[in-house]
Homo-oligomer: A and B are copies of this chain.
């Protein structure tokens, strides 16, 4: 990322100030400074409410037809389009929401979870930097009368003498090439060994090359998501990620969710088709990773991958039929190491594919990978790991035990089931605050474009702000007595107008309905109930949680305070909440760098108890209790309820 010039922005009256990059809009600067500015068009410059006066310094743009020449000369600008060009002093005007004698409405700072990633130096220090497939260069003594061991024994002896590598399995394929390869470069060879999971088992010799190639050892990590397949190209000598990228899972053309895809796979030739689609997506991702670097396919010695149980079944050509049928029995939760070519991954004949094991039909290898990659399995602290997507996967535990479950949260966090919900794209309302008195909103959109809808993180902020400001009651209903034209009865009940048609990018009013809010509450309720049910099953409660690990794309955008306010996350100190990004991918990368992961994962999956929430009788009660903001039992959210109580007074 290019490093831009920074400027200071001071907001008057008062001395609230913030440092921003050149070109930042004033509305974003205000938001960063914790100040609310009425701005319902989302930055399109059409609602004309966000008027401010630039008293010192220079801004570019921000001029509106609605302003008189005098106003413009006096420095009046639209905060939503005016861009900082130097250090500036900006005065808020009453149209922008300034109250007499006040500094303005404050907007709390967003708290996102601190990014956590693992440290290669740490792996090395702990002595667990040990890729599952490694290369060894050997200079073998020439055979003579005193030493006429077989070629095979000669290689095995050298591995033992030079590298203390014992218990090697040489398959027929290697033996068939052995004589020739040894003599091609005068008994100088590079051996590729795939380590076993079990320490006492034998390493497999997977390749043999004439000459020294030990300095070229690369790996690929692949997260097979239902929607997106992400990959990383890894230098296994240094641990460095050399390239990263993703592509939509081509199976999407046959359904967005796993159930639809399983149904498709059950049709004639459906399984083969679904396998071809996912594998061709993987091949495309790998192709792109390689294009960026001069790495040959046969220099990739292993691929570590993880996906949910259905995705892994489809990739491995295992019949997924019973994953969708009660009692939800997958073919296997363990996946043997295979050659890439066995499943159509186009790398080289010698590349090993290592897939993360699953726990059950609905707690897949992606979650196991996250537990491993985030090091949750090694912590003493009672931890909640949560990966929020269409399905939220939840793991609770520590290094001694782990309980896990999947909740069907539905697509609300991705904008699904929300009247004006949308994916996080230009025009999506991603940041929000509300004037507690006028109930005028500040909508900030992605790309500063006219508002088109609400993305998941925006939805969370809106509902939390509505709840905190008593626009919504605990059941998620609008208070009927609100003094604003924005609340109205629409076709499907009460709704709140966020953006008027003429200010919007879609020429329709953008509203949030009670039905939308209900859908959101069901989604967050399913997750929270999953958390409390799991805790209850192991005799604990949310008060016992010591840390929370968020994973998944949604996790990076979540405002923690809002998530706690609505009761999506339990009330945990935000500094004990961390974000790991794509936990599955992280676990795969970890697996490429440390064979200890594969050893440990065997223990971990044995420690990991999967719960079918639909089979736990108390889950339904927990769910119903969670269909409130933040929860029926206010004592679970003392701070949230305290704030609301104070507001009431």
Q: Which residues of A pack against B, CB within 8 Å? A: 143-145, 147-154, 169-172, 175-176, 178-180, 198, 200-202, 316-319, 321-322, 326-336, 338, 342-343, 360-361, 612, 615
Give CA–CA (A436, B36) in the complex, Å: 132
Chain B residues with Cβ below 8 Å from A332 are 150-153, 170, 175, 178
Question: Chain B residues near A198 (CB, 8 Å)?
Answer: 202
**In whole angstroms, what is the CA distance A615 to B170 when docked?**
30
Q: Which residue of B lies closest to A321 (CB)?
A: B179
When distances are taken between beta carbons in the complex, the residues of chain B under 8 Å from A328 are 148
Complex formed: what's the CA distance from A322 to B343 in Å? 37
Complex CA–CA separation, A143 to B325 (angstroms): 11
Task: List the B side residues contacting A176 at CB < 8 Å.
Answer: 316-319
User: Are the C-beta atoms of A331 and B152 separated by less than 8 Å?
Assistant: yes
Q: Which 7 A-B pairs have the closest CB atoms?
A: A152-B332, A148-B327, A179-B319, A150-B333, A143-B329, A150-B330, A145-B327
Residues of B within 8 A of A150 (CB): 329-334, 360
Task: Please give, as numbers and ranges, the residues of chain B lying within 8 Å of A151 by CB-CB distance.
Answer: 322, 329-332
Q: Which residues of B contact A336 (CB under 8 A)?
A: 169-172, 175
Taking CB atoms, residues of chain B closer than 8 Å to A360 are: 148, 150
Give CA–CA (A50, B532) in the complex, Å: 109
Cα separation A198 to B168 with both chains bound (whole Å)? 13
CA of A202 to CA of B200, assembled, Å: 11
Asked if A179 contacts B322 (CB within 8 A), the reply is yes
Q: Which residues of B contact A169 (CB under 8 A)?
A: 336
In the complex formed, the residue of B with least CB distance to A318 is B175
Point out the residues of chain B lying under 8 angstroms from A171, CB to CB: 336
A190 to chain B, nearest CB (A): 18
**Interface pair B338/A172, CB less than 8 Å apart:** yes
**How far apart are A545's CB and chain B's nearest CB, in angstroms?**
28
Residues of B within 8 A of A180 (CB): 319
Q: How far is the CB of A601 from chain B (nearest CB, A)?
A: 15
**Contact check: which of B144, B200, B318, B338 meets A179 at CB < 8 Å?**
B318
Closest to A147 in B: B327
Q: From A325, which residue of chain B is reached at the shortest CB distance? A: B143
Specify the chain B residue showing the minimal Cβ separation from A317.
B176
Residues of B within 8 A of A319 (CB): 176, 178-180
Give CA–CA (A329, B147) in the complex, Å.
9
Rounded to whole Å, the gap between the CB of A609 and the closest CB of chain B is 12
Give 12 pairs: A residue, B residue, CB < 8 Å, sorted on A: A143-B322, A150-B329, A151-B332, A153-B333, A153-B334, A171-B336, A172-B343, A178-B319, A179-B318, A179-B321, A180-B319, A200-B201
A317 surroundings in chain B (CB, below 8 A)? 172, 176
- Chain B nearest CB, measured from A276 CB (Å): 15
What residues on B are CB-neighbors of A329 within 8 Å?
143, 148-151, 154
With A170-B336, A336-B172 as given contacts, are A144 and B331 in contact (CB-CB < 8 Å)? no
- A342–B173 CA distance with the chains assembled, in angstroms: 10
CB pair B316 A175 closer than 8 Å: yes
Bound Cα distance from A39 to B482, whole angstroms: 134
CB-based nearest B residue for A178? B331
Give CA–CA (A143, B143) in the complex, Å: 59
Which of A149, A150, A179, A317 has the most chain B CB atoms closer than 10 A to its own CB?
A: A150
Q: Are B148 and A333 in contact (CB under 8 A)?
A: no
With A175-B318, A327-B145 already in contact, the answer to whether A152 and B615 are too (CB < 8 A) is: no
